[in-house]
Amino acid sequence: MEHRKHKGYIKQYKAKAKGRCVSSYLVVHEGVLEGFPHRWCVVCAAAVSWYLVAREGKEGVVCWNVFHIVWSCHIYVGYKSLSSKKLLPTEMMKLPLSSLSLLFSLTIQVILLILKLSCMKFVFASTVGNNTDKLALVDFKSQINDNLGVLASWNDSLHFCHWEGVTCGQKHQRVTSLDLVGQNLYGTLSPQIGNLSFLRSLNLASNAFQGGIPQDVGRLFRLTSLNLSHNFLGLEIPVDLSHCSNLLTLDLGYNSISQQIPSQLGSLSKLEILFLNSNNLTGRFPTSIGNLSSLQQISLTFNNLQGEIPDEIARMTKLTVFEVGANNLSGVFPPSLYNLSSLQVIVLAKNKFTGDLRANIGHDLPNLQLLFLGANQFTGPIPVSLSNTSGLQQLDIIYNNFTGSIPMSFGNLQNLSRLSAPSNLLGSGTFDDLSFIIVSLSNCSNLKVFDVSYNQFRGELPYSLTNLSTKLECLQLGGNNLGGTIPVEVSRLLNLNRLGLEHNLLSGSIPDSIGKLSKLNFLELGQNKLTGVIPSSFGNLTLLLELYLYNNSFQGSIPSSLGKCKYLQTIHLCHNKFNGTILESIIGLSPTLLDLNMSHNSFTGSLPSEIADFRNLVMLDVSYNILSGDIPGSLGKCLALEQPYLQSNSFQGTIPDLGKLMGIQYFDLSSNNLSGQIPMYMVNFASLQNLNISLNNLEGEVPVQGVFKNASAIELFGNSNLCGGIEELHLGPCEEPKKHFALKLILLVVIIFAFCFALMMFLVSRYCLRKLKNKTISSSSFGRVYPKVSYEDLLNATGRFSKSNLIGSGSFGTVYKGIICPGETTVAIKVLNLQQRGASKSFLAECQALGNIWHRNLVKVLTACSSIDFEGNEFKALVYEFMPNGSLENWLHPEEEQEKWRNMDLLQRINVATDVALALHYLHNQCQAPIVHCDLKPSNVLLDDDLTAHVSDFGLATILLRSSKDAILNHFSSAGIKGTIGYVAPEYGMGGQVSTRADVYSYGILLLEMFTGRRPTDGLFKNDLNLHKFVKAALPGRVMEIVDRSMDSNEMAEIKSSEHSECLISIFQLGIACSAESQRERMDMREVASALVLIREGFLQSRKHEHCPERQGAQVSQIRVKETYPCEDGRQHLHDALQLYQES
């Protein structure tokens, strides 16, 4: 009866429990009141309560399980009532089967409940974790700038597992990988990244992240790969990274991380790859690194580590790559490395290692493929056992003290591609010792570089060198004691781009066959005993960059075919027996020449005016010849010239006007027949370090300013009629002319009369000014040269300054388009805003500079007006030549209605960049006093009909005169006129003085803007990121990602698939060098202009379907910018090591 009662009770509550899960509580609790065992009901109530907490909307399932629990309780009560009768086991077996299964049914129900509760708990935890991952990713995005829109998919329209770069695990839907390599992302790393607790791979390489690495990364205990290389990360390596116990790869290379390497990294027992190269790490090599028994590759190159390599390294038995080059490490070759037989790459170059190499190094390291030991102090012989390393590809021991010879057994190294051992003490001392070596190396069919220059090899130049590998690109045997002749069969080495045989004892003539080496860039044959003439076949060396034939016995004239070498930058022909006129010798040579040395020969005739064609010439040496005639004034057009040597000839006449050569450092005119006085412009040569004008016929007074203030910097002897100068020169005083009293009286009367006349004219003009306010008061300097215009003229020319004629406005005035008579000339009229502080002074400064500022790439000032308007206010304006194609700003960043502007191709941009550079070079180096623009930006670069660029707006220019008392300099220092945000140099923000280097910075930013299409104030440049860093992060491999997308798509494809990209890289490197934060690191505009001319020449040649010379871009950027080229075997982690030898 009691059992039926309970059963009815359950039925009574079924309907209630179906509707609301809370009824399950009542089912259990009221079950107690109805007679169920109390202990069991409490257990059921607790289970149901926990279940409901985790239900997540599944109330029906929960309630159904509650019914099963209560029903089981009901059955259990019945079972208990039977068991209370204390039946024997045999009697129990006689019970109905249903009664025997009561306990089994209850047990199953409880087990199912526990399993379901566990599942619900897992679902709950997984949901919370997913939300954490999403929040972490959102916060990561909020800290960065995404200029390419890579993270556009990171929004609520997609599940975060489908966001770009995000990978999730299928089971848990948690983030396991974040890969955003090379996406031009900028900003800082969010600490929330440490909440991605399931993350196994994090790759943010080749972006522009700044700041430090968050310590929170150490919480990613599942992380196996962390790659943050090629960014701008700083501070120190987080100690908490040691908590990432599952790390296999750690790459933090190419950043700015400083301080010491944490010893805690030694606890990463699973680590296989550790790259910390190209940072600013200091301290000693941590001994704890030896605990990384699984490590296979380690690179610490280009840091500031010091001390010795610890012996604990020997425990890293799996190590294959060990790179510590370019540090301050010392000691002998690390003994611990001899125990690591698995090593394939060892780079110890550019340190302070000493001592001998073990004789059995090749047996201890049989797997060695690359060994770089250059720029150290190693001694002793090259171990013969290295020939045992059959896989050896590159051996470089440059700049050491190795002795003995190169083992002949090296001929067995079939994989050898580079054998470089210059500047050692190699050479056995026996005759023809090099010959046997070269014979053995002829078996090395993959050899590309063979350099044993500047050693002690003797004998004749081996004929066997013609049997070396046809893949050979570099053959350097200079600086030895090799005799004999150059073999005709050298032409077999068709892939040679560098041949160096200088400083030997070679004789005979240069074979004509050398003209077959069409890939040759560098030919060095100087300091030998060669004779004959220069072969006309040199004209076939169209990619030749540098030619050195100095200190031989060549004769004859320079072949005209040399003019076909359009890329020649350096020609050294000095100390030979060349003859012929100087005109026929240099006519037709490449206009890209930077260095021309023809001294100590027998050239005749006069220095031709065509010398002006070499506008990029830096060094000209025609001394010790038989030249005569006047020195041509056209030499003053070689604006880049720094070292003109014209001594020991027969030049006559006066010294011409070379006052525009402001970069001259060494100037020698001695031992000629020059006459006249010393030009006063020489006192303005601020860079001049030495001036020699001795042994001439000069006369008159010696200046006492500039270089003439330093007696040790000038040589004047042999000019008997010179006088004056500083006391140290011991010259006699200059005789003053006799003074007559009558002459003095006449002069005094004239001065008094002139003063009275000037005073009267001043009073009259003041009276007229008050009566006729609308009349022009033009500066006298304009009145004699330019047509006068009045306020009324300009008012009519601009339609009463109507908005329809408004061209633009700036901080110092507004520019209108106008038409003035006579001739109905279209002009641009700049009306100065006299309410703006400094504008009036700016006008006066511009007027003062007008007489000096005339250049093809500067906007011409036609006239000026200083008057009173019809309301009695002061009015000042400048009238410029009108530029129909507007400003560069319009072309780079057009408004919607100006889309037609955006058709500027790559060549046009290069032309504009070159034009602007030449204009600044003129302002800085060719004017009598350097002129600083102070506000260079795209809106101040105007374009004429054929898109020739003209720099405008000199209202902000500072005229840097030598005297610190100069009023204009003082005025500009106080006016605070120093440029536009984004283009202004950083030193101006700290109160720095006006300087030409600040213009260079502005030009660098302008150059980067022209080719990226991004303003320096672009919204993506936040925190510490700027345009300079944006471009630097993309070079050289990702240059196409930052190029202005407005360029034609076909041209973009052409650039990407051709040599044009090298020219583009050179331009960007030039912009980076100009926009360096430090003034001292910036280039001079003379260098910039020369580099751009070379880049343009190379680009034009490639347009004619001719390949740019190999590494032409590097030649341009070598002015200040380090080369960036992949290493020969294509392995990125060896790139730094190879750079060491490119620099050498």
Residue 1126: pLDDT over 60: no
- Identity of the highest mean pLDDT range in 470-479, 826-835, 975-984: 470-479
Say how far apart CA 795 and CA 802 lie, in whole Å: 9
Angle separating helix axes 38-53 and 23-33, nearest 10 degrees = 170
**Could you count the other beta carbons within 10 Å of the beta carbon of residue 409?**
14
Average pLDDT over every residue of 488-509: 94
pLDDT attached to residue 1 = 47
Residue 103 predicted with pLDDT over 80: no
Omega of the bond prior to 822 within 30 degrees of 0, cis? yes
**pLDDT tens sequence across 871-894:** 778 888 888 888 888 889 888 888
CA distances from 9 to 31, 239, 375 (A): 8, 66, 96
pLDDT attached to residue 282:
93
Q: Give me the mean pLDDT over the 445-458 stretch.
A: 93
- Whole-number pLDDT of residue 1099: 79
What backbone phi and psi angles, to 5 degrees, belong to 468?
-65, 170
Query: Average pLDDT for residues 957-981, to the nearest whole number?
Result: 41
Sketch the domain layout of the chain as residue ranges: 2-123, 774-882
- pLDDT tier at 768 (50, 70, 90 boundaries)? low
Looking at residues 578-599, what average pLDDT do you find? 84
Angle between helices 59-83 and 102-142 (to 10 degrees): 150
Q: What pLDDT, on the 0 to 100 scale, is given for residue 641?
A: 92
Q: Which of 668, 669, 737, 671 is nearest to 701 (CA)?
A: 737
- Geometric angle at alpha carbon 1030, from 1028 and 1031, rounded to 5°: 70
Confidence of residue 731 (pLDDT cuts 50, 70, 90): confident
449's tokens = 């570089």
The pLDDT confidence band at residue 82, using thresholds 50, 70 and 90, is very low
Among 319, 375, 310, 321, which Cα is nearest to 346's?
321
Q: 996: left (phi > 0), else alpha (psi -120 to 50), else beta?
A: alpha
Range in 323-332, 787-796, 1046-1055, 1111-1120 the model is least confident about: 1111-1120
Peptide bond into 1016 cis (omega under 30): no
Cα R_g (the chain), whole angstroms:
42
Report d(CA 271, CA 986) in Å as an integer: 43
pLDDT at 765 over 50: yes
What is the distance between the alpha carbons of residues 448 and 457, in angstroms, rounded to a whole number?
21
State pLDDT tens for residues 686-724: 889 999 999 999 999 999 999 999 989 999 989 988 998
Q: Do the annotations mark residue 141 as ligand-binding?
A: no
Q: Which of 287-291, 408-412, 1006-1010, 1110-1114 has the lowest mean pLDDT?
A: 1110-1114
The full length of the chain comes to: 1144
Which CATH code, of 3.30.200.20, 3.30.1280.10, 1.10.3720.10, 3.30.300.30, is assigned to 774-882?
3.30.200.20
> 935 an active-site residue?
yes
Highest mean pLDDT (candidates 548-552, 577-581, 1019-1023)? 548-552
Q: Is the pLDDT of residue 200 over 80?
A: yes
Q: What is the pLDDT of residue 866?
A: 76
pLDDT tops 90 at residue 599: yes
Q: How many CB atoms neighbour CB 43 within 10 A? A: 15
- Which band of pLDDT confidence, cut at 50, 70 and 90, is reported for residue 432? confident
Mean pLDDT (the chain, rounded)? 79
Given a cut of 60, whether residue 105 has pLDDT beyond it is: no
pLDDT over 90 at 372, yes or no: yes
Model confidence pLDDT, tens digit, residues 750-763 = 788 787 877 777 77
**429 vs 450, which has greater pLDDT?**
450
Res 640 pLDDT > 90 = no
Separation of alpha carbons 1142 and 1144, rounded Å: 5
Q: Which residues pair with 555 in a beta bridge?
A: 577
Per-residue pLDDT band for 781 (boundaries 50, 70, 90) equals very low
Task: Give 864-884 as a 3 state SS string.
Answer: EEEEECCCCCEEEEEEEECCC
| Alpha carbon distance 776, 767 (integer Å) | 14
pLDDT computed for residue 834 by the predictor: 64
Which residue in 251, 396, 621, 935 is the catalytic one?
935
DSSP state of 433: H
* Pairwise CA distance, residues 180 & 163, whole Å: 11
**Pairwise CA distance, residues 757 & 747, whole Å:** 15
Predicted local confidence at residue 1111, as pLDDT: 33
pLDDT at 297: 95
Whether 195 and 223 have beta carbons less than 8 Å apart is answered as no
The whole-angstrom separation of Cα 868 and Cα 988 is 35
**Whole-angstrom distance, CA of residue 483 vs CA of residue 187:** 62
The yes-or-no verdict on residue 455 having pLDDT over 80 is yes
Output the CA torsion 224→228→230→235 (10° steps).
-130
Confidence at residue 873, expressed as pLDDT on a 0 to 100 scale: 80
Please report which confidence band the pLDDT of residue 934 belongs to, taking 50, 70 and 90 as the band edges.
confident
The pLDDT-based confidence of 867 (bands split at 50, 70, 90) is confident
What is the share, in percent, of the chain residues with pLDDT greater than 90? Answer: 42
Provide the 3-class DSSP secondary structure of residue 89: helix
Mean pLDDT value across residues 132-138:
90
- Does the pLDDT of residue 534 top 90, yes or no? yes
* pLDDT band at 736; cut points 50, 70, 90: low
CA distance 679 to 402: 55
Average pLDDT of span 139-168: 88
Q: By the 8 A CB rule, do 279 and 303 touch? A: yes
Neighbouring residues of 46: CB distance < 8 A, sequence distance ≥ 6? none
Residue 1135: what pLDDT? 40
* Residue 333 burial by Cβ neighbours in a 10 Å radius (0-12, 13-18, 19+): buried
